[in-house]
Amino acid sequence: MGILDSLENSDAFKGLLGQLEGAVLPAVLSEVLGNNSQGGLSAIVAKLQQAGLGDQVKSWIGNGQNLPITAEQLQQVLGSDTVKQLAARFNIPVDQLGPILAQMLPKAVDGASPNGHLPASA
């Protein structure tokens, strides 16, 4: 079990995740996936694929279990400045935002592609 696994299983993480899911996380995901500086969902997916994370992305879009992505991989793709700006904008510690985004992004992409394809407007 790695550090991230133990963090995800901790009560503090689950409490923070529950709090963020209800209030802040939808806004953060909207920022990341929306038509902001990252270019929307299709652009994020393309960046992830270009960064060598194509297998993860395919699993999120396709049917079946979603492969994980680490906070470090996601921060590398989005850029540490973007992650820092999101954390500051939503008043979330950077070290907590990364793991939460890494856990929620696959679910968000999966939810946006229910038929195994990204919508044309993504």
DSSP letters, 60-79, are: HHSSSPPPP--HHHHHHHH-
Q: Is residue 121 part of a domain?
A: no
Domain assignment of residue 119, yes or no? no
- Give the burial string for 109-120 (b: 16+ CB within 10 Å, else e): bbebbeeeebee
pTM over 0.85: no
Residue 116 has phi, psi (to 5 degrees) of: 80, 10
Average pLDDT over residues 15-24: 54
CA 33 from chain centre, in angstroms, equals 9
Sequence-distant (6+) residues with CB within 8 A of 58 are: none
pLDDT bracket for residue 69 (50, 70, 90): very high
Look at the block and give the residue holding tokens 């960046």. 47
Domain assignment of residue 82, yes or no: yes
Would residue 55 count as lying in a domain?
yes
Count of structural domains within the chain: 1
Residue 118, in any domain of the structure: no
CB 97 within 8 A of CB 28: yes
Which pLDDT does position 103 carry in this prediction? 87
Q: Is residue 98 part of a domain?
A: yes
Cα radius of gyration rounded to whole Å, the chain:
14
Name the residue range of residue 33's domain.
Answer: 3-112
CATH of the domain at 48: 1.10.10.690
pLDDT top residue among 6 and 91? 91
